[in-house]
Amino acid sequence: MKKQNPADKVEQWPIDRLVPYAKNSRTHSDAQVAQIAASIKEWGFTTAVLVDEDGGIIAGHGRLMAARKLGMTEVPVMVAAGWSDAQKRAYVIADNKLALNAGWDNELLALELADIQGLGFDVELTGFSDEEIKALQPPDFSPGTEEDQSNLDQKALTTCPACGHEFHS
């Protein structure tokens, strides 16, 4: 017998039918829920909430919070039918942790974000802040001005805290 794949069928369920898992160890700040809500507004609901047969949430707590923030009354769900309690509880953790185990090719990421930004798209919808995007940019090694050079040529007088000897550094 073929094992049922929850993604084989997506249904629309009323939000009130969904029950958050009380022991969900993943947290969602208000700012992160706002990011998810902005993502849903831009692209729609691209990943359904994973629930058990009774509506218990296995994956998608943040998406449910964002849907509530947006005033939605229904969300897409996939039902994980026949999963044991251990499987459900383990997947609550695995769904979040497995994604965190991935890395980034920072050079390609910086190029892609720059290209997307060049198209006039709000790249903060990707979840990266302006500071994170700036940190991806390579350092500027272009030659400085004569004033920059003169600042580098200045030597400061430094005093050794142990012996009191003064020297130029």
pLDDT, one tens digit per residue, over 114-156 is 999 999 999 999 999 889 988 988 877 778 777 777 776 677 7
Q: Residue 44 sits in a domain of what CATH number?
A: 3.90.1530.10
Kindly tell me the burial class for residue 10, based on how many C-beta atoms sit within 10 Å of its own C-beta (0-12, 13-18, 19 or more). Answer: middle
* Residue 164 placed within a domain: no
Task: Determine, yes or no, domain membership for 132.
Answer: yes
SS3 78: strand
For residue range 43-101, list pLDDT tens digits in order: 999 999 999 999 999 999 999 999 999 999 999 999 999 999 999 999 999 998 998 89
Beta bridge partners of 159: 166
3-state secondary structure 154-165: CCCEEECCCCCC
Going through 34-103 in order, the beta strands assigned E by DSSP cover 49-51, 57-59, 74-79
Structure tokens at 72: 């939605």
Residue at 166 is within a domain:
no
Q: Domain limits at 111?
A: 105-139
56/84 Cα distance (integer angstroms): 13
Indicate the residue among 53, 85, 100 that finishes a domain.
Answer: 100
Residue 160 lies in a domain: no
Is residue 114, in this structure, part of any structural domain at all?
yes
> Which residues pair with residue 51 across a beta bridge?
57, 79
Is 155 part of any domain?
Answer: no
**89 and 134 both lie in a single domain:** no
Structure tokens at 135: 């940190």
19: which DSSP letter?
B
Same domain, 24 and 59: yes
Entry pTM: 0.77
How many domains is the chain partitioned into structurally?
2
Q: Residue 121: inside a domain, yes or no?
A: yes
Is the domain of 44 the same as that of 110? no
Q: Measured between alpha carbons, how far is 145 from 151 in angstroms, rounded to an integer?
A: 10
| 58 lies in the same domain as 111 | no
